[in-house]
Structures are given as structure tokens and as C-alpha cells.
Structure 1
């Protein structure tokens, strides 16, 4: 039967040590000839062979596209816990190009001569199954704690999990006998026999045994790929292709690996035979209407969440489900753990529209929208719901160099934006962490290192492309739907999904970058002095402050971070001098650098937040003695593990309050704190809240109904609700502090 897998064609290359560059050259030739896969046998006891793993690593570095696999790896000579790490490492280094063929052993006298004990056939099968369990256990980073397997041959007792491969590495098993075939059906992803060693009918009988074992284990037999090592054929290319197509359609073989070290044979196989087999098989599949191989295993399908119509997921839009390999990379955000039912990753505005339509079909299912994944205020993830993840909308392009007008996708990260703009001598004030996504920051406000001189991020927005709740794609600016354009700049998450922005950016050269660690003898006096120093500084200085309270045996500390938009060392030192005099200076770092280098402070890997952050925010006009005392009280309370103050004022306050939905323009500082216990943090925060003129929702996790009125003044909120009722009357976009309904006691 045809199991419906995509066809693969590969080469089985001898790892000869006589001329070590020959197998590498053959692998490169296989890639150039259009083959999908290069494989190498593994006999470490052969003095005439190169070490297979070393050769595969070298080939990975010498090729770009072709997949690489051992055919098959001698597991008795390779401890499975170590093998798991080696495989994941090679997969990461090669960009996800490793497939793993495993064998239970053979040539036992040679194996025993190298140290491992000789195993009976039954023991060898058991050992291989234990090895597969250990390998997969190390790759599974979704589970807490180490890997424990108490096997009869292979055991691990708390082996560390990871690294995680770049892709879901398939495990193929070389097998002939019934017990090995049954193991394969239970635990492996592919069958890799060699045709020259098979008797007539062996392949069909093997398929039956694998299928029976898979069904007994609750697996779909169609998910298991069937491969075949084949010898060279004297037939012409078309006749050979017809023979192989017969194996594909009758026996379900979907990967043919030619056992040949002859360059002409490999070229012929890749350039002539493989295309002809694909043509013949595709023609028959189309005629018969055969079903493709299942995209997900039975185990993966069992992890689907109730309430989501997975069959209705938008066609052509990349979707990740809880049972998928990619899921651990997209379930969580930077600060929050999540377990969504599905994550869809559209690649353009039209696909976003289809994702929104999918969300509309599920009015009772939570919907989260994510650009970068921080999601401190908005959730950006959920439990059992839908996440629309914009990371694929990451374009950065110059529209008009004369105006310094750029177009940036909502899923781009600010570190990448800073690097791209820096090539032109430009910058855009954009928060303080390069891992934040463009969409969330550019619709909320954007308090960054250049705020006092160049304003908020939203002050540079000239147009927004967005998808509304009804799926329509609109372009808004000062002339096109100016009301919606006004609302997007400060409350955009409520109005739709921004997919791209046009920004007018600034010319920014080298900047002064300082980090001063100070021990404040009197934290309240220090806070008041720092605030006064900021407000007395010229606009070319923007400073952020991170404070920690004293602990037993540890004094309180303050980290003053400042950017000075000047490449003159004397100017930089002059601006910093008032801050250096605020208390004993414990450490200091002052340098001339670029905005792009400052923003290159984030890792690009998956975000693995856990739990729920608890944070509070306040916008204040100045740091008075009373406010400073309240802030010092929060630090002393132990309720916070992160306390920060960010400078505003300057260019931020130049913009009228009613020009954007971000309305608290006269506030000179944004205060934010993060803790672990909500009740404790709330109790400590009350005194600061008394001094607040509002709050910045990006730093607020409270679900108090009053917070909406604190974030937006009455006139602003009234106007926002009117626009919301027009563009999102059913409140589809409700996750990020919905403003549609009047506040109630229940929130």
C-alpha cells in the first residue's frame, strides 16, 4: 500500500579513510545532483573507515541543503544519552538537517573487542528500545527534571534534558526480524532495510508486522516512513524509475537510497531517476485520490484542546498544535507560561485576516495576539485558546531615504530594527530591550532610551496597516480614518491587529552609554535626587533607574542607566556628573557606542517564561519627597524583586494630550515594579498609587476594573469606546485590557 509520504532520494556513501575527502566530495555531488539525503554506514571497528559521526559533521559544514543520516548507527558503541546530545548539536549546527538511523548491532565479536558486552538478539532489541527512550527523553525539554530510565542494558539517572534539536529528528531503524519490526512499530519513525539482503516478500511481510505493532501501540501506521537502501541498476533510467515507482505504490516505500560510490551513478540517480519516479507516483496518486501521510501522530492529536475546530484552521497559514515539535517554542512568552490550544503564524496581512476569521468562529475561546512575546500587560498567550503569532511579519525596508521613512512589520524585533536602521545612521526610540516585538510597543506607547529627546515610539508612526475584527485590511494615517489612527497610537491592541507600520526615524550617531552602580545610604533621598537630576538635564539625556531594597547583610543598590545622544566624551561626562554624585559609586561603565549595539541585548531563541507575572505601573509628574518615601517603602517591604523608574518628559510632553490615545503627556516618569505575590505587592503599592496621575498599561498586570480609567482620562476613554464600538463591536480583541464595556465590579 502507498502510505502517502513525500518521496525522498538519497545516497549511501562508504566512509572510506583511504582518501578522506572522497566521501565529502560525493556528498557534495549528491547535493548538486538534486538528491535529498546523504547517508553513511557506521562501523567504528573498521580501520579503513572514517568515524561516521565526525564525517557527518564535516559533510554538514561542507553542504547547504542536503539532509544527513547514519545508515545505521551502531548503538552498542554509542551511549544513547551522549548520542542524544551529539545528534541535537549536529542538527542545530546544520540548520535542522539531521535524520537519525539506528541499529541494534551486529558483528558482535568486533563490537565486544571494543569494550561493550556481547548481547543476545533479544537483549539487543531491548537495548535499542531503551536507547530510543533515553534519546527522546533528552530531547524533550517540556518536562521538568532530568531523564530517568532504569533499563536492563541502558540506564540514566537524572540526565539533563537538552539541547533541543532544530527540528523533530526522525528515528529510523534498520530491521529485518519480527521483534525488531515490532519495536519499530511501537517506537520509531521509519523502517530502513537494505534490498540486497531482503528475500522476495520480506518487505510486504515487514510492513504487516510494523503496522500491527503500531496499531497495538495506538499509533497510525501511516505515520511511519518506509525507506529502502537499493543497489545500482543496469536498467535505463526510465525502466529503473518504473521499478522504484512500483515499490512506492505497492509497498509504500517513500525514500530510496542508492548504495553507490560512483559519481556518474549518483548524478544519474538524482538528475534522471528521481524526477521520473516522482512523476510516476504523483500521477498515480492523483488518479487514485490516495490520502497523504498524516501530518500528526495519534499521540499529537490526543493533545488537542476542547472547543477548537482544528479542521477549520486557515489553510495555508502555519499552525502549531500542542502535540507538535514546535509547540514548546511558542507556548510561552518572555514572562508568562502558557498552554494555548493552537498557535497560528500568518506570513502577511491576508493570512492575518484569515486567522482573525478563524478566531471569530470561536467566540467562546480565548484569543491572544503576539508580536514579540513579552506580554506583560496583555497576555500574549493563554490556556487552551488561540494565539495569533506575528513573528513572520518581520520585514524592515526603507520607503523614502530622504524622509527617513521606513516600513516595519509588526513581528520584527527591536534589536533587528535597530541594527537595520543603524546601517543608515538612523535610530528609533523603542523601549529598552531588543527582544520586544514591534507590534506591542508601537501600539501602546514606547518608552525608550531616546524618549526625552525624540519622544515615544508612537510619535514616529506615520501610517499603520492593520486587520480589523471583520477581517478587512485597512491602511490608516492622518488622512485615512484619522480617528482610528489616533486610537492605534496608545490603544491599538483593542482596535485590531497591526501588521505593519510606517515610521519616520531620526538621525542618531554614536551615543554615550553609561551604567553606574550606586549604594544609596538613604534610598528615599536618592530617588528624589535622581528625579531632580533627570529633570534638570538637557533633553539629550534619558535615564532609567533600577533599584533593589536592602537584604540581611546586603545594602540597597541602585543602577543608573543613561543614554546621552552625543558623541563628544566631554558632553557625556558632563551630563553624567550629577548622577555620579548621588551616592558612593560602586561600579561604573561609560562608553561611546551606537544605539544598535545597546539594543543588541536579547537572545533570539524561544521564550520560556513560567507562571504569571505580577506587576504594577504608575505615571507621575515629579518625584516629590512624599513619593520618594513611598517608593522606598515598597523597596523595604520585600514585595518586589524588580523596581524601575523610566524618564519621560522633554519631547514626550511636547505632544498635546489629545493628539494620541496615550494621553498622560505631562508625566515625567514611569514607575514599574514586579513581584511574586499579588496581594502583597498591591498592599505595598497603594501609597505610590496615591501620587499617580495614571498608569502605562504595558507594565500593568492587574485586572482591577479601575485600571482602564487610570490608563485613559475620561475624554480619551469616551472617544476610544466610540471607535471600538465601530471597528470591534463584538469585542473580539478583548485580551489586552478591553475598553469596550463600562467597568463593573466583576471587571
Structure 2
């Protein structure tokens, strides 16, 4: 057992010599001690040093040693006590200190054991049996040197990789931290580790997972799945780049398998335009790698999205009307199944699994590699237009007419939000897959009818220029917080009645983001039963987001009569009824049968769960 030893500094006794407090903490760090705990031996808080302030100062005055700073309780403050800490302010202070000194702070006094000032080595060893660091009150340099001599004599650290007490203090219940597979031990991240903050949240959702496993190879993915099987009582998130709207690639207190290290892009057969990508490569990176060859692969509308999530859901993008969905270009996928087996699914190998992965992949395994047949795509017209509409109902109706009637080389997405003073900002994002600038202008000009043109940017560029505007995710990770609230639907045709109801929803103020993605063209060329994504004929895909889920539901429900299905990538309502919107009953039953074959224990259940034991009839009845 590794015995960790530290010192306890009573700031009430050292208030007359505050610099001596700093000197003792620095000496403890120099001598190899593990922890400095700040305590206050008096109830008088109007004079002397405040323990929390002193702890912050000591953290800034040292570089390695863990700082113990009792932050007090989290119960509501006593209104009669002007000095009682307010929980939210206290929590913010703790979070701030953790940012400034990551992995070095213990704010819970249960994170250490206090021994008597005159404790002998055998006393310290007995106290350390709790697996907590032992701190001894000190008042002088001589006290610190005495403890340092004990540290110098210990030899139980050799060959042992042990996280400091500040990290162990953040561990969540129900997780076998010491049982992490050896293959993953080098890269695994716990809540107290410095990299944790960069890995805890996603693009839109704040999270606090209990453990982040970061495999680098398919074999390590198998090990991570094995660990997850031993923790089936916990949520399990699978993450490629962490952009997903549903936010299910993070959680609170559970496990996350982060595939961020698996982001390679490789041309495997130039003659056939076959390209292999890792799940964590972003579409911005893929587009940049394909551009020198004169190739492109349609991929949504934002380059920061990861390959893994989109390529197992559908991929409705700015090239889709001319080249089809992303999944239509998938030729094979390497998967690690719930039992840890590594398989390749294609039309020739595991064809049923290959069918399911293209539209419902999150339920059947972890994709570690994708092989796509990409398209020859030269320069395209890329337009970003902003217009001001005085009649959003009329603008929506006219957009529906123009976008549906446009040639298949033209894909136009519309984004708007709540009107202000009767005016709506309408943003159009369009790609014209044609290298002739005059044709590009001709294709786009009719859309200027939607409002008064306020801003325009139209350029000829390789597809990489379309994806290249996305921000790169830096070392500090994603910054989502709270819970996203989003709804999704397919609209068979954009009728005047839909335009009227959608305009009413926008005027309600419950929706801050509203997007219509034009479909049709090559999307409808593929038979509905070719993939688990069966919605091949709708004219548009709709997404709406709001701050409050209850309000969003209230304004969304009146529009349901216009819908036929939904796209799971933009849906946060995880009720069972939504599965039948995403997958018609015969498709859902086919998926359940495959789930019983490939994941009978329902390990992959946290992203719109296709329960292998579910009863489609019961779901249909609940939906009705």
C-alpha cells in the first residue's frame, strides 16, 4: 500500500505570520509530501485568515502538491448569518480553483485522515489503512522535516502508478477504477484528472461522467466494452467528435468511451475512390484530405461533426440532392460488438448488420473504421445569404416551392428564429454543385424573393471550403452546458398550412433555432428498404430548438399533423414513441430482431434505445 502523508496548517494560529504558512506549504512540496490541508481552529471568522482564501493562495504559491480546502456544506444558507457561504457562490469558487489548479484540490474533508501532531510511524500506517492520505498538524519547519524523513524512507512507491488523493476524491460510486484494463490505463481519464474538463462535455450538453475510456485501437475498444459490460448499471456514452445534438455521448456519473484517438483518413484504392476514415475524424478534415484528389463526400452542413455519429445515422447534407446521403456511400464498416468481437459489415459480410448500421448504428456496436466510395466533385458554388422578411409565413411557403423545384445540383437550407418587431432574419446556406459561376448565380437568384437581402457571400470553392469554416476543437475540448432541447421531423411537402403553423410557432418565442433542410433528388433514388434509414421521399427535414423543453413540446405538437417521421440526429425527446417516428413498425421489428442477435443484453441503450425485448404494438398503442 502507498502511504500518502501531508501536513495540516491551522490558519487561525498562523494568522500573525501568513508568509510562514506559505513557506511551510512550499517546504512540504520540496520535501515530497503529498498534501497540504488548510484548517481553521476557531469559530471567529471576522479576523485572521479565511481558510478558503488561504487555500487558493497556497495553490498559487506551489506547483505540485495537493491542497485540501474544506469548502463547508451545500445546504441553503442561514439568512440570519451574514457570513454563511451561499452554495452557488461556493460551488463557483470551487470550480474556479479547479480550473486554475486542475487535479490538485480536495474540497471534501472526508478526503483525508487527521493524525495527532505527535503520531509515530506505526500510527500513521494504521491511519493510512483507510486508503486516504494522512495529514499531521504542523507549526514549524522542524515538524515538516520530521514528516519528510518518513516520506524519504518509504519504498512502497516503486513501480506503482497511483493517482493522487485529489483525483481519487472525485471518484464516483459504482465504478471499479482499479479494474480498468491495462491496455487503457495509460489514457483513461478520471473526474479529478487535469484533462477531464476538456472531455466531460459535448458541443451542446454539459456532462460529468464518472470515467472516460480512450481506446486507440479496435482491440482496446473491445477492452473498453468489456469494462462497460461489468458496469451495466451505469449510463454508457459513445463519442466520436462530441458534436451530436442529442448529447448522448456524455452523461453524469457513467462511462464514456471516447474514440478521439481514432481519427485517421486514408485513401485505400484511388481507382475506385475508396477512402477509409476513423470515427473521430471530422468532416472538415475529411473534406481537406479529399480535395487534392478532386473528390468529396457529402456530410451534413458543418465540418466540426465527427464521422462516427453521422455515418451511422444518415447524413443529410449540402451535397445530398446531387449525391445522396452519407450512408449511401458507405461500402463497409468495422465494428466492435457488445460481446467484444470485431467484425466487418458490408453487403457481402454480415449484410443484415450492414443494413442496420446505416440509420440505427448506435444500437449495434462501436464503429472503429468506415470505408466510403467518394464522388468526383470539382468547384462548387457556396452561398451564405441573409435576408430580412416582413412575412415569415410567406417566406417559408415560397422557400418550399423554390427548394423543391430546384435542379438536383442545388441544395438550399433555411435557418431562422423568433421574429423581432415583426421582422425575421432568414439565413440561406446553399451549395450548387456546378463549376460555372453563371449557372450558380442563376440557380440562387430566385431565392432572393424570400426577403430583403442584407448580406451575401457567394464563392466558387472546392467542397473543403464549405466544410472549412467550422471551428477546430482545441485542447480544452467542447464547451456545452445544460441540456439541449431539440425536435426533428420529416415534412413530405411544404404546404401553405405548414408554413402558417410554423410561422405561429416561431412567433411564440419558444423556438430560437429553426432549420429546414431540402431533400429529394438523389436521396430518393435509393430504395427505402436498402438501409435502416427509410425516409427517402420527404421534401424537407425540419429541426427546431428551444430553451425550455416543456414550452418547445407545447408549440411543436400542433405541427405533428404535417410530419411523416423524424431524423434521430436532431431529436432529444427520447420517449419510446419517437422510435416509431424514426422507424416504421416493420423496420423497428426487424431492428429488434437484430438487436436480440447482436446485443441481447442491451448494452448500447443510451442513444434512442432499440430495446430487444420491446413490443412494437405496445409502442404503437402508446403513440396513438
- Which position in structure 2 is the counterpart of 1:148? none
Q: Does 1:308 align with 2:175?
A: yes
The partner residue of 1:677 within 540, 543, 548 is: 548
CA distance in 1, matches of 2:98, 2:383: 35
Say yes or no: does 1:393 pair with 2:298: no
Deviation, structure 1 residue 249 = 13
User: 1:226-245 counterparts in 2 under 5 A?
Assistant: none
Structure-2 separation of matches of 1:404 and 1:698: 27
Which structure 2 residues correspond to residues 622-701 of structure 1 after superposition, within 5 A?
622-701=493-572
Does the C-alpha gap of structure 1 residues 220 and 647 become closer, same or farther in structure 2, counting only changes over 3 Å? Answer: same
In the alignment, the residues of structure 2 paired with residue 638 and residue 450 of structure 1 have an alpha-carbon distance, to the nearest angstrom, of 32
Residue pair 1:642, 1:674 contacting (<8 A) in 2 also: yes
In structure 1, the residue matched to 2:39 is none
Distance 1:396 1:297 in 2: 37
Q: How does 1:282-297 map to 2 (within 5 A)?
A: 291-292=158-159, 294-297=161-164
Q: Note the alpha carbon deviations across 1:252-271, whole angstroms, 9 max, x for none.
A: 79xxxxxxxxxxxxxxxxxx
- What is the alpha-carbon distance in structure 2 between the residues aligned to residue 699 and residue 677 of structure 1? 16
The within-5 A match list for 1:8-27 is none
Pairwise CA distance, 1:375: 2.9
- What does 1:379-458 correspond to in 2, within 5 Å? 379-458=248-327
Report whether the alignment pairs 1:557 with 2:425: yes
- Is the counterpart of residue 724 in structure 1 residue 592 in structure 2? no
Answer yes or no: is 1:133 the counterpart of 2:59: yes
Per-residue CA distance 1:270-308 (angstroms, 9 max, x = gap)? xxxxxxxxxxxxxxx9xxx86435531112112111111
Provide closer, same or farther for how the CA distance between residues 486 and 298 of structure 1 changes in structure 2, counting only shifts above 3 A.
same
If the length of structure 2 is used for normalisation, what is the TM-score?
A: 0.76
Q: What's the secondary structure of 2:444's corresponding residue?
A: helix
Contact 2:240 2:308 in 1 (8 A): yes
Change (3 A) 1:529 1:364: same
CA contact (8 A) 2:393 2:503 kept: yes
User: Do the aligned partners of 2:490 and 2:563 also contact (CA within 8 Å) in 1?
Assistant: yes
Aligned to 1:67: none
Closer/same/farther in 2, CA of residues 594 and 101 from structure 1, 3 Å limit: farther
**Rounded Cα–Cα distance in structure 1 between residues aligned with 2:53 and 2:540:** 63
Between the aligned partners of 2:153 and 2:386, the Cα distance in structure 1 is 67
**1:220-231 correspondence runs (5 A):** 220=133
Distance of 2:357 and 2:53 partners within structure 1: 60
Tell me how far 1:101 sits from its aligned partner: 9.5
1:742 paired with 2:615, answer yes
> In 1, are the aligned partners of 2:226 and 2:339 still within 8 Å (CA)?
yes
Q: How many residues align?
A: 526
1:562/1:3 Cα in 2 relative to 1: closer, same or farther (>3 Å)?
Answer: same
Contact 2:511 2:545 in 1 (8 A): yes
For 1:97-136, list aligned pairs within 5 A: 131-134=57-60
Deviation at 1:129, TM superposition (A): 6.8
For 1:95, the equivalent position in structure 2 comes to: none
- Distance in 2, matches of 1:739 and 1:130, equals 48
Report SS of the residue matched to 2:162.
coil
Where does the alignment leave 5 or more consecutive residues of structure 2 unmatched? 5-18, 20-28, 32-48, 72-91, 106-111, 113-120, 136-148
Counterparts in 2 of 1:126-205, with a 5 A limit?
131-134=57-60
Pair 1:497–1:587, CA change in 2 (3 A): same
Q: SS at the partner of 1:602?
A: coil
CA shift for structure 1 position 450: 0.5
RMSD of the alignment, in Å?
3.9
Q: How far is the alpha carbon of 1:313 from its aligned partner?
A: 1.4
1:537 alignment partner in structure 2: 406
Alignment partner for residue 371 of structure 1, among 214, 229, 240?
Answer: 240
Contact 1:378 1:737 in 2 (8 A): no
Separation of aligned partners in 1, 2:202 and 2:180: 22
Change (3 A) 1:577 1:252: farther
**How far has the Cα of 1:415 moved from its partner?**
1.3
1:435 Cα deviation from its structure 2 partner: 1.6
Distance 2:587 2:94 in 1: 56
Cα-to-partner distance string for 1:339-358 (whole Å, 9 max, x where unaligned):
11111010011110111111
Q: Which residue of 1 aligns with 2:435?
A: 567
Q: Distance in 1 between matches of 2:55 and 2:418?
A: 53
- Output the CA distance in 2 between the equivalents of 1:451 and 1:325: 41
Q: Distance in 1 between matches of 2:2 and 2:364?
A: 49
**CA separation of 1:3 and 1:705: change in aligned 2, threshold 3 A:** closer
Q: Secondary structure at the match of 1:382?
A: coil
Compared with structure 1, are the counterparts of its residues 738 and 581 closer, same or farther at alpha carbon in structure 2 (3 Å cutoff)?
same
**TM superposition shift of 1:443:** 0.2
How far the C-alpha of 1:599 sits from its partner, in A, is: 1.2
Give the Cα–Cα distance (whole angstroms) in 1 for the partners of residues 56 and 555 of structure 2: 53
- More contact order relative to length (CA 8 Å, sep ≥ 6): 2
1:375 is paired with a residue of what secondary structure? coil
CA contact (8 A) 1:433 1:602 kept: no
- Inter-CA distance 641–127: structure 2 relative to 1 (3 Å threshold): closer
On the 8 A contact 1:528/1:625 being kept in 2, the answer is yes
What SS is found at the alignment partner of 1:364? coil
C-alpha displacement of 1:168? 5.9
CA deviation after TM superposition for structure 1 residue 462, in Å = 0.2
Question: 1:3–1:292: 8 Å Cα contact kept in structure 2?
Answer: no
Q: Name the structure 2 match of 1:64.
A: none
Deviation at 1:703, TM superposition (A): 2.2
Question: Hey, what's the Cα distance between the residues in 2 that align with 1:484 and 1:688?
Answer: 34
User: How far did 1:554 drift?
Assistant: 6.1
1:343 aligns with 2:243: no
Conservation of the 8 A alpha-carbon contact between 1:378 and 1:735 = no
In the TM superposition, what is the alpha-carbon distance from 1:133 to its structure 2 partner?
A: 3.1
Structure 2 residue aligned with 1:705, among 576, 583, 586?
576
Q: Residues 2, 657 of structure 1: CA spacing in aligned structure 2 closer, same or farther, 3 A cutoff?
A: closer
Displacement after TM superposition at 1:541 (Å): 1.0
1:629-672 CA-to-partner distances (Å, cap 9, x unmatched) read 11111111111111111111111110000000000100121000
Find the aligned partners of 1:136 and 1:528 in 2 and give their Cα distance. 64
Residue deviations 1:306-362 (CA, integer Å, cap 9, x gap): 111112212121211111111111111111111111110100111101111111111
